Amino acid sequence: MSNYEFTFNENGPYGAAVRLLSDTDPDGRVVLDIGCGAAPVAEPLRSRGTTYVGVDIDEESVRKLADRGFESHVVDLVQPGLEQVLDKILDGRELAAVLCLDVLEHVPDPREVLEQLTALTNAHPAAELVVSIPNVAHVDLARQLLSGRWDTTDSGLLDRTHLRFFTERTLTELMTSTGWYEAAREDFRLERSDQHRPGHPLFEPKATLGMFVRQIRDGMDPHGEVNQFVRRYHRGAARRPVEVDAEAPFLSVVLRTQGKRPDSLMDVLCCLGAQTDLDFEVVLVVHDSARTRDVRELVDLFEGNLSHRVRVVGCDGGTRSRPANVGLRAAAGEYVVFLDDDDFITANWVENIREGARTAPGKVIRWWAAEQHRTWHDEGALAVHTATGPLTPQYATMFDLPRHLRQNETPFHCFSFPRVLVELGFEFDEALTVCEDWEFLVRAASFCGVHDTEQMTSVYNRWSQRTSSHAVASDEWTVMRSVVHVALDERPLLLPPGSVRDLDRALEQHELAQHRIQALEAEIASVRALLAHTEQVSANAHYALDELRSSTSWKVGAPVRVAGAVARRLRGKRP
């Protein structure tokens, strides 16, 4: 007898499967439910005009289904010649669909079953396949593993009779490799699966830990809450998975340009061509696809060793984040670094990143930039642009995450990060018109930690005119800064070891400053009170004097005072 007596529920995975099937207009044709078990979808499908046929290895289930008035057959899905067995059951009737609801995870070789179904449907090319299958990558299972558990249950995500486990990717790979292409989906989502542990901070979405796990899982793909993948597939040619390129370079350099500054772009390409470590590719994103051809022509001026490692990609619209994301998605290297078409780097720039990644794998690698003021010249001038000041060590500071929350102290071409962050859902916020690198860096630093190589291998050019950084109004920077803070505040932020003492020192300084301010304010208040008192005394004196001067006795005595004053002057003149 089957262990499963699930009932039909419109809001559950069976309801989703029936809706997916109904969309294909199966009226009057056979729906073959393989591994039907208790056949919860039999009545709903019959009510929609289909000829429901259930097959299962469990004789009692098959008998019960027959008792409900449905055609049913005992069939072992792992038997040889499954296709012929099912074809015999069809007996020339037109097949609308095959249902595989909670079945494939129970058979030792689901590929073989699917290939048999592929063969069966050769004679029924319009037939669809509807699959319902548990998601082993549900966030609750990640939480269970983090808490050291993998406890099987009688049913659910960790049903003890499951022989195979699927994620969205492995399911899709299996289906396409057996000739089944997704046509529609209505995945069954559960925020709290049967594996959920109420009250546990790892599981509760409002607990910081739970929120953090959720953040990581959601970054990977949008299926963290999917309990069952419920999908409908069309027939097509079987497609084998593409082999992963084993020759991926160490570093992807994403170089952004608008194609308007060929001279500075040529300088940057020279810097790249001169690198001592050539294990890199360049993804040159032209933020105006109309200029892509001109940029490619400029790249092709260079010797093959450089030009062959440059891919030119066009991109239109959006903010500065748009080309950054285009480059990020096109990057194939182990690490990714960004460069703009007006930046300079020294010849050991890549070498330094690689050395950093070797020393501190998985971390954000950071280095220093010298700053130099430069200016563009008018068209008639001999030089297109020149330096106007010396190189200064403006950005020679060790990375400090809390300080980076106040302002960015790291130029964009001074940090590199593992490309795997893209899998964690990292991308640039396209709502930001500026500061896109700042927000990215803070989040990457929070996830990875930062290794400072303490090498100065970049030159940050500060242009005096005609550049985007100067075109941005200061109020726009202020607004974007707020947007970055709001975005960062939406999620938990990890601080690296050592942060407690750093923060303690900073808070202590803040406290001391507060005390000092309070003391100074008290002193100011005291001085002000004294001043007010003095002013009051002075005002009183003036008032009394005015009173005196306006009195009759004062006026009467005026001639006497004049005579006295004259006498005093005369006495004063005596030798």
Partner 1 sequence: MTVPRTLRVAIVLYHNPLAEIWRCVRALNRAAEIAIADTGLESVAIAIGDCSDAPLISDTEVRNLQSSVGEGVSLDYRWFGVNLGHSAGSNALAEDAAEDAVLFLNPDSYVAPTLLRHLLDSLRDPAVAAADARQIPCEHPKHFDPRSGDQSWASGACLLVRTPAFHAVGGFDAEWFPSYVNDVDLSWRIRLRGARVVHQPRAVLFHDKRLDASAQVRTTAIEPYEGILGRLMLATRYGRPDIVTETVDVMRVHGSEEQRRALEEFERRRAADRLPVPVPADGVAEFIAGEYGRRRF
- 340: enclosing H helix or E strand: strand 335-340
Identified binder of partner 1 from the candidate list 47, 170, 392, 536, rule CB under 8 A: 392
Asked whether the CA dihedral 121, 126, 127, 130 is positive or negative, the reply is: positive
Cα(first)–Cα(last) distance of the chain, in Å? 140
Site string for partner 1, 291-320 (x = CB under 8 A): ----------xxx-x---------------
162 closest CA partner among 110, 118, 112: 110
Binding mask 438-477 for partner 1 (x = CB under 8 A): ----------------x-xx-x------------------
* Residue 505: Cβ within 10 Å count: 10
Q: Distance between CA 333 and CA 250 in Å, rounded?
A: 5
Closest distance of CB 361 from partner 1, Å: 25
Radius of gyration for the alpha carbons in the chain, expressed in angstroms and rounded? 38
Annotate 200-251 with DSSP letters as a single string.
-TTT-TTSHHHHHHHHHHHHH-TTTTEEEEEEEEEE----PPPPP-TT--SE
Contact with partner 1 (CB under 8 A) among 1, 66, 78, 270 = 270
Helix (H) or strand (E) holding 189: strand 188-189
If one counts every other C-beta atom within 10 angstroms of the C-beta of residue 79, the result is: 11
Q: Which of 55, 104, 230, 271 binds partner 1 (CB under 8 A)?
A: 271
Instruction: Name the residue nearer to partner 1 (CB basis): 394 or 408.
Output: 394
Could you give the CA distance from residue 99 to residue 88 in angstroms, rounded to a whole number? 17
In whole angstroms, how close is the CB of 261 to partner 1 at the nearest point?
14
Region of 11-19, 374-382, 522-530, 539-547 interacting with partner 1 (CB under 8 A): 374-382
Residue with tokens 């630093």: 445
- Which of 384, 422, 488, 493 touches partner 1 (CB under 8 A)? 384
Q: Is residue 183 close enough to count as binding partner 1 by CB under 8 A? A: no
Residue window 394-433: x/- pattern of binding to partner 1, with contact defined by CB under 8 A: x-x-------------------------------------
| Largest separation between any pair of C-alpha atoms in the chain | 150
Q: Are the CB atoms for 187 and 229 separated by under 8 Å?
A: yes
Nearer to partner 1, 446 or 457 (CB): 457
Residue 214 CA to chain centroid, in angstroms? Answer: 13
What's the closest the beta carbon of residue 257 comes to partner 1, in angstroms? 16
Determine the residue type at 405.
L
- Residues 472 and 460: their CA atoms lie apart, in Å, by 18
Nearer Cβ to partner 1 (303/490): 303
Q: What angle do CA 40, 43, 47 make, to 5 degrees?
A: 145
Select 271 or 284, whichever has its Cβ closest to partner 1: 271
Site for partner 1 in 20-59 (CB under 8 A): none
Contact present, 132 and 17 (Cβ < 8 Å): yes
For partner 1, the closer of residues 100 and 251 by Cβ is 251
Of 52 and 367, nearer to partner 1 (C-beta) is 367
- For the CB of residue 406, give the shortest distance to partner 1 in the complex, in Å: 23
Among 71, 112, 267, 502, binds partner 1 (CB under 8 A): 267
Part in contact with partner 1 (CB under 8 A); list of ranges 69-77, 289-297, 383-391, 440-448 = 383-391
Task: Identify the CA nearest to 499 among candidates 400, 408, 405, 407.
Answer: 400
Q: How many residues bind partner 1 (CB under 8 A)?
A: 41
DSSP code for 6: P
Site for partner 1 in 215-234 (CB under 8 A): none
Residue 248 sits in the site that holds partner 1 (CB under 8 A): no
Beta-sheet strands, E only, within 57-173:
71-74, 95-101, 128-134
**Smallest distance from partner 1 to CB 380, Å:** 8
Shortest reach from residue 401's CB to partner 1, in Å: 21
Beta bridge partners of 184: 232
* Min CB(379)–partner 1 separation in Å: 12
Give the range of 56-64, 315-323, 346-354, 412-420 binding partner 1 by CB under 8 A. Answer: 346-354
In angstroms, the CA 270 to CA 261 distance is 14
The residue behind tokens 């004063």 is 572
Binds partner 1 (CB under 8 A): choice among 92, 125, 198, 390: 390
Return the number of the residue (75 or 272) whose C-beta is nearest partner 1.
Answer: 272
- CA–CA distance, 318 with 433 (Å, rounded to integer): 9
Taking residues 275 to 294 in sequence order and writing x for each that binds partner 1 by CB under 8 A, - otherwise, the string is -x------------------
- Judged by beta carbon, residue 275 or residue 321, the one nearer partner 1 is 275
User: Which listed residue (98, 136, 137, 345) binds partner 1 by CB under 8 A?
Assistant: 345
CB of 273 to partner 1, least distance (A): 5
Task: Please select the residue that binds partner 1; options are 57, 216, 248, 347, rule is CB under 8 A.
Answer: 347
The Cα–Cα gap between 555 and 152 comes to 112
Told to check if 167 binds partner 1 by CB under 8 A, we report: no
Question: Positive or negative CA dihedral for 140, 143, 149, 150?
Answer: positive
The residue among 345, 136, 324, 119 whose CA lies nearest residue 228 is 136
Residue ranges in contact with partner 1 by CB under 8 A: 263, 266-267, 270-271, 273-274, 276, 301-303, 305, 344-348, 368, 370-372, 377, 380-384, 386-394, 396, 454, 456-457, 459
